[in-house]
């Protein structure tokens, strides 16, 4: 699994997002490669991410994001590079400009059962996050809602535990039941921008702060999940 924050204990990190165009991508890629290290899990500098996001019939997660609710959470299931043999359930929590992530493993069979609405086994899972999702699927009506696919270029910088990513080619699936099929049909998620994300712990080194700054680009609240909901 690529080196992203996860684990049982919450560690809130600062997060910035900026929307970019293609020229910005070329400029930033050159800057980042000169200063930061590539993520060792990347293949030829990038990897592919497929996520399945959960929401309820009232679009709780979507509305909280669009309304800028200060404290919110969302659940997703994720695997990398078209390999569904290693799958993770994740809960991402936000408090203002800080974020953290909890993670638990899922098997392919467990994921399929969630997609099919076979949930009773989740209550006896050894992973508390699986039990929490079970509770919220029953209590809040959370259900698999949208597939989100994209390519990520990740860079790391040890001082400050900084992680910078460039995300692009954002696509969405037409059926949640296709999640485990890496070859399933996906379509572009509208006119989605390229997204720069910067994450760090207690401080952001000046050298990183400087290289990610581009004229006319300001912090954004862009959501790949919200973008992929344009079709319903």
Rg (CA), the chain: 17
Residue 4 reports pLDDT greater than 70: no
Beta strand 83-95 with 143-157: parallel, antiparallel or unpaired?
Answer: unpaired
Q: Facing residues of 199 across strands? A: 15, 163
* CA dist., res. 217 & res. 212, Å (int): 10
Q: Which homologous superfamily is 13-227 in?
A: VTC, catalytic tunnel domain (3.20.100.30)
- pLDDT per residue as tens digits for the range 69-94: 989 999 999 999 999 999 999 999 99
Beta strand 83-95 with 47-55: parallel, antiparallel or unpaired?
Answer: unpaired
- This prediction has a pTM of 0.92
pLDDT at 120: 97
Alpha helices by DSSP H, listed for 55-104, are 60-66
Mean pLDDT check: name the lowest of 55-59, 60-64, 212-216.
212-216
- Other CB atoms closer than 10 Å to residue 91's CB: what's the count? 19
Phi, psi (deg, nearest 5) at residue 217:
-105, 120
Cα dihedral 67/69/75/76 (nearest 10): 50
pLDDT at 232: 73
Confidence of residue 218 (pLDDT cuts 50, 70, 90): confident
Confidence of residue 186 (pLDDT cuts 50, 70, 90): very high
* CA dist., res. 177 & res. 10, Å (int): 31
Q: Give the up-direction half-sphere exposure of residue 35: CA atoms within 13 A in the CB hemisphere.
A: 18
The DSSP letter of residue 182 is T
* CA dist., res. 74 & res. 71, Å (int): 11
Confidence of residue 231 (pLDDT cuts 50, 70, 90): confident
């Amino acid at each position: 699994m690529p080196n992203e924050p996860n684990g049982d204990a919450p560690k809130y990190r600062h997060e910035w997002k900026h929307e970019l165009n293609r020229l910005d991508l070329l400029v930033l890629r050159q800057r980042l490669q000169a200063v930061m290290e590539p993520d060792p899990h990347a293949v030829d500098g990038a990897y592919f991410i497929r996520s399945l996001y959960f929401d309820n019939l009232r679009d709780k997660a979507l509305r909280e994001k669009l309304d800028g609710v200060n404290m919110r959470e969302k659940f997703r299931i994720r695997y990398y590079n078209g390999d569904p043999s290693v799958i993770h359930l994740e809960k991402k929590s936000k408090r203002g400009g800080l974020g953290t992530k909890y993670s638990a493993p899922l098997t392919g069979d467990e994921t399929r059962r969630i997609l099919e609405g076979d949930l009773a086994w989740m209550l006896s899972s050894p992973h508390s996050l699986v039990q929490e999702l079970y509770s919220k699927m029953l209590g809040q009506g959370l259900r698999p809602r949208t597939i989100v696919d994209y390519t990520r270029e990740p860079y790391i910088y040890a001082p400050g535990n900084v992680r910078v990513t460039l995300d692009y080619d954002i696509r969405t699936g037409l059926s949640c039941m296709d999640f485990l099929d890496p070859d399933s049909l996906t379509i572009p998620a509208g006119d989605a921008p390229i997204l720069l994300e910067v994450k760090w712990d207690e401080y952001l080194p000046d050298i990183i702060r400087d290289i990610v700054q581009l004229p006319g680009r300001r912090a954004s609240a862009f959501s790949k999940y919200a973008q992929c909901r344009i079709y319903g």
